[in-house]
């Protein structure tokens, strides 16, 4: 079905429910819950600096990173909204040590979906008023309905996702998501509290002119990444490329999807397995990127084909315009 620009997210979900005859409406209700939680978090993000919501919370998460107050707030709000609506049977978050089991109103464990999320990506940027985001991923459970979820329900490869998306809290607030039928972006009208389809059928240009990587870590990068950066900087007909790095993965990938570019967060001598989380960041973004005609890999192979073994597993990440990612992979294979 063709998307109608400026229709509301609710109308869009209703119009496209036929894509999910097996879901009995649960997946649509789940997306509705995420849009509600996103509005609540957006309201709080927009008050940063006016209320005591910025800065460190005083605790560390499972990765040993300092939690920001907004990390904790966003995590609580998304978990609370998804739990109260009794749509999912389990939630795993980057901010929690372990997954959460949700039994349902009759303690019957009848719900079909699990959600994995990074509740506030790039939250350290809040203090300096730079865009941040939320990333989410949805899977159908693999354990029998009627039983509590297990880790097996969450340790699924990205190619098993049924939905994924992100919310970017920037100059405007957008919800971008896919259910395997293309990528669509909705912008929040804060005066009405409604999301409107502003970016239908989003696509990555096959080529781009932007590379996004933290070059401050250059000396720690593998040789293939160093050679690719030099390639990006060479004076050629279509180069040098422009370096743009925000430090918020959602913002960097969102920009590159619109303008064309590559985002790289490789492994390094400081983080041998990479730093980004496979389940909460890499897989959902890879699903969106592929649905938008781009490519996502670990530098050698498809991200979504990796079989996870841990909830907080990390992975290198090369993602964006297809031709740019393939060129980066050439350098990785040549200099591995």
Q: Residues marked as binding?
A: 94, 118, 120-124, 214, 245, 275, 281
For helices 223-233 and 322-334, angle between their N-to-C axes, nearest 10 degrees: 130
**Sequence ranges of the binding site for Mg(2+):** 94, 118, 120-121, 281
Rounded to 5 degrees, φ, ψ at 3 are: -75, 145
Q: 25-58: buried (b, 16+ CB within 10 Å) or exposed (e) per residue? A: ebbbbbbbbbbbbbbebbebbeebeeeebbeebe
> According to DSSP H, which parts of the chain are helical?
9-15, 26-45, 69-84, 223-233, 249-259, 283-291, 322-334
Contact (CB, 8 A) for 126 and 115: no
CA-wise closest residue to 70 among 124, 150, 28: 124
Q: Which residues are annotated as a binding site for substrate?
A: 121-124, 214, 245, 275
Contacts of 43 (CB under 8 A, 6+ apart): none
DSSP 173-212: EEEEEESSS-EEEEEEETTTTEEEEEE-S----SS-SEEE
The contacts found for 305-309 with CB under 8 angstroms, 24 or more apart, are: 305/157, 305/158, 305/159, 306/157, 306/158, 306/278, 307/155, 307/157, 308/154, 308/155, 308/156, 308/157, 308/278, 308/279, 309/155
């Amino acid at each position: 079905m063709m998307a109608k620009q400026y229709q509301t997210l609710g109308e869009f979900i209703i119009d496209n429910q036929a894509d999910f005859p097996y879901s009995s409406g649960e997946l649509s209700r789940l997306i509705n819950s995420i849009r509600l939680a996103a509005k609540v978090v957006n309201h709080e993000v927009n008050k940063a600096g006016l209320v005591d919501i910025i800065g460190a919370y005083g605790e560390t998460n499972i990765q040993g990173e300092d939690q920001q107050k907004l990390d904790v707030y966003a995590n609580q709000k998304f978990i609370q909204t998804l739990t109260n609506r009794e749509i999912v049977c389990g939630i795993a978050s980057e901010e929690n040590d372990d997954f959460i089991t949700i039994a349902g109103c009759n303690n019957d464990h009848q719900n079909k979906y699990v959600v994995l999320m990074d509740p506030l990506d790039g939250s350290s940027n809040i203090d300096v008023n730079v865009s941040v985001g939320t990333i989410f991923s949805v899977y159908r459970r693999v354990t029998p309905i009627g039983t509590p979820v297990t880790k097996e329900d969450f340790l699924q490869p990205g190619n098993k996702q049924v939905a994924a998306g992100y919310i970017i809290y920037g100059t405007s607030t957008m919800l971008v998501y896919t259910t395997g039928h293309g990528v669509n972006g909705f912008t929040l009208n804060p005066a009405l509290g409604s999301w409107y389809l502003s970016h239908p059928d989003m696509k990555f240009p096959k080529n781009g002119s932007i590379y996004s990587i933290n070059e401050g870590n250059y000396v720690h990068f593998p040789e293939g990444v160093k050679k690719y950066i030099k390639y990006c900087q060479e004076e050629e007909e279509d180069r040098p490329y422009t370096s743009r790095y925000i430090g918020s993965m959602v913002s960097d990938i969102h920009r590159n999807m619109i303008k064309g570019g590559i985002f790289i967060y490789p492994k390094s001598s400081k983080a041998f397995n990479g730093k980004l989380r496979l389940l909460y960041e890499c897989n959902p973004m890879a699903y969106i990127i592929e649905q938008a005609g781009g490519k996502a890999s670990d530098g050698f192979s498809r991200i979504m084909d990796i079989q996870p073994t841990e909830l907080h597993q990390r992975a290198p990440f090369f993602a964006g315009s297809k031709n740019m990612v393939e060129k980066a992979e050439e350098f990785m294979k040549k200099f591995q």
